[in-house]
């Protein structure tokens, strides 16, 4: 007779999660939590430092699990209240909690200590932060880096979204850590391939539009070179960032008539924008593995991306092109080459790859297997 495993009860604690204050922050965490709720009883506690509000509690509106936002002020009193709030929930939920699932360890390391040392609960931590390889970890105060390294000993398993990120965490922590890869999730019910006749743009760029991180200006400069050879070429660009400087640059480059700018999009709108485009272009200075890449593949759209972080772990020649992050001209050459061969990529193959590796069913099995490992420790 098959043994029925008990459904684990998991307390998720995260500093990154979409809210009324920041609607897109941690949307990848939200997707992972929804996946986790398929195989566990989830309660999610999101804490967020805000200069606009005193301590406030608001319910998380999710159909798949319960939870709440805790907004606190960036002051000594605000941080003390956060600590009290956290201890209260760890204590009151301790008896029925199988383990604690954290995210973004450089902000939740102290909760790992509370969970593991005081409440004796196994701790898991999903990691998305690029700071381990972008240099931001080294910019943290020495005392905090030492605390993070020490606190990592209270985590039973880390879950970075790429192997590269896991390796960088080991280097930053100066110790071996147990980790398994659980990639970002794509909703393949929303992100589906589109028909050829629906294509409107040769290229699309979707990001936060941060100049130092995402480098959209470089994409526009190289697109201008593409326009020199392909006069009918088009690109759309936007996201949850400021587009005013990009509009001005497009005018200076003489390509404003070929560039369509847009603002923040929801998931359905992102999917439609990807379906309308022949190729997604990213030229980030650093990354882990952006969600928009597998979302593009799920829509049958190939990708040109800078060879940084964990992108090369997934992006093969059949799925797009990797370019040097150091030499901007390589991006232009890749875009020109794509214009010559933009019909060679197979939409169905791209979508199948995305579903196999990043689809909800695939990632659910990874999460379920991981949770089962830790139920044994309960």
Please tell me the distance from the alpha carbon of residue 274 to that of residue 199, in angstroms, as a whole number.
9
How many domains does the chain fold into? 2
Quick one: 239 exposed, middle or buried, by C-beta within 10 A (0-12, 13-18, 19+)? buried
Residues 313 and 338 in one domain: yes
> Do 168 and 207 sit in the same domain of this protein?
no
The token duo for 60 is 């998380």
pLDDT at 290: 95
On whether both 203 and 100 belong to a single domain, the answer is no
Q: Of 46-60, 282-296, 328-342, where does mean pLDDT reach its minimum? A: 46-60
Show which of 182, 208, 228 is a domain's final residue.
182
Confidence grade of residue 58 (pLDDT, cut at 50, 70, 90): very high
What would the mean pLDDT of 207-230 be, rounded to a whole number?
97
pLDDT at 377: 46
Domain CATH number, residue 245: 3.40.50.2000
Render pLDDT for 127-142 as a digit per residue (tens, 0 to 9): 999 999 999 999 999 9
Q: Kindly state whether residues 75 and 111 are assigned to the same domain.
A: yes
Asked if 8 contacts 40 with a C-beta cutoff of 8 angstroms, the reply is: yes
Q: What is the pLDDT of residues 281-308, one digit of tens each?
A: 999 999 999 999 999 999 999 999 999 9
Are 289 and 146 within one domain?
no
Q: Is residue 377 part of a domain?
A: no
Q: For residues 63 and 41, what is the distance between their CA atoms, to the nearest angstrom?
A: 13
Same domain, 34 and 164: yes
Residue 368 lies in a domain: no
Q: Which residues contact 359 (CB under 8 A, 6 or more apart)?
A: 185, 186, 188, 298
Is 188 part of a structural domain of the chain?
A: no
- Same domain? For 243 and 350 the reply is yes
Helix residue ranges per DSSP H, the chain: 27-36, 76-94, 105-113, 131-134, 136-139, 142-151, 163-173, 216-229, 244-253, 267-275, 292-298, 328-341, 347-358, 360-375
Query: Does residue 4 form part of some domain?
Result: no
Cβ-contact 344, 310 below 8 angstroms:
no
Do 213 and 130 belong together in one domain? no
Same domain as 79, residue 148: yes
My answer on whether 279 and 234 are in the same domain is yes
Describe the chain by its helix, strand, coil percentages, rounded to 5.
Answer: 45, 20, 35
Tell whether 191 is covered by a domain. Answer: no
| Residue 135 and residue 230 in one domain | no
If we measure between CA atoms, which residue out of 5, 50, 47 comes closest to residue 26? 47
Does 200 map to a domain? yes
Residue 190: inside a domain: no
Residue 3: pLDDT above 90?
A: no
* pLDDT for the residue 86: 95
Domain that holds residue 353: 196-358
336 shares a domain with 280: yes
Rounded to whole angstroms, the Cα distance separating 116 from 106 reads: 16
Q: Which of 142, 160, 182 is the last residue of a domain?
A: 182
């Amino acid at each position: 007779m098959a043994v029925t495993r008990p459904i684990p009860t998991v307390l998720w604690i995260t500093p990154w999660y979409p809210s009324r204050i920041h609607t897109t922050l941690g949307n990848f965490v939200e997707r992972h939590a929804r996946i986790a709720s398929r195989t566990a009883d989830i309660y999610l506690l999101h804490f967020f430092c805000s200069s606009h509000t005193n301590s406030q509690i608001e319910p998380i509106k999710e159909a798949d699990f319960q939870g709440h936002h805790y907004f606190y002020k960036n002051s000594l009193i605000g941080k003390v209240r956060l600590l009290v709030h956290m201890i209260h929930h760890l204590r009151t939920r301790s008896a029925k909690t199988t383990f604690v699932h954290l995210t973004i360890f450089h902000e939740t390391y102290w909760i790992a200590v509370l969970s593991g040392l005081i409440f004796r609960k196994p701790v898991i931590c999903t990691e998305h932060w690029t700071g381990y390889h972008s240099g931001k970890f080294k910019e943290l105060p020495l005392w905090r880096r030492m605390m993070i390294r020490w606190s990592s000993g209270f985590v039973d398993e880390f879950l970075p979204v790429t192997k590269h990120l896991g390796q960088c965490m080991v280097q930053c922590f100066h110790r071996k850590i147990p980790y398994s890869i659980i990639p970002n999730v794509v909703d393949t019910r929303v992100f589906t391939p589109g028909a050829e006749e629906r294509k409107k743009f040769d290229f699309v760029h979707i990001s936060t539009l941060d100049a130092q991180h995402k480098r959209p200006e470089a994409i526009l400069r190289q697109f201008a070179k593409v326009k020199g050879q392909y006069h009918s070429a088009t690109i759309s660009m936007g996201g949850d960032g400021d587009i005013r400087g990009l509009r001005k640059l497009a005018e200076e480059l003489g390509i404003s008539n070929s560039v369509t700018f847009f603002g923040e999009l929801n998931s359905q709108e992102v999917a439609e924008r990807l379906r309308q485009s022949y190729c997604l272009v990213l030229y980030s200075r650093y990354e882990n593995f952006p969600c928009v890449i597998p979302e593009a593949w799920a829509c049958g759209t190939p990708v040109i991306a800078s060879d940084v972080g964990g992108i090369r772990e997934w992006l093969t020649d059949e799925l797009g092109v990797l370019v040097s992050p150091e030499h901007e001209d390589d991006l232009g050459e890749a875009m020109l080459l794509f214009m010559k061969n933009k019909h060679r990529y197979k939409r169905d193959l791209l979508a199948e790859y995305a579903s196999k590796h990043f689809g909800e069913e695939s990632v659910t099995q990874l999460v379920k297997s991981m949770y089962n490992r830790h139920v044994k420790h309960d």
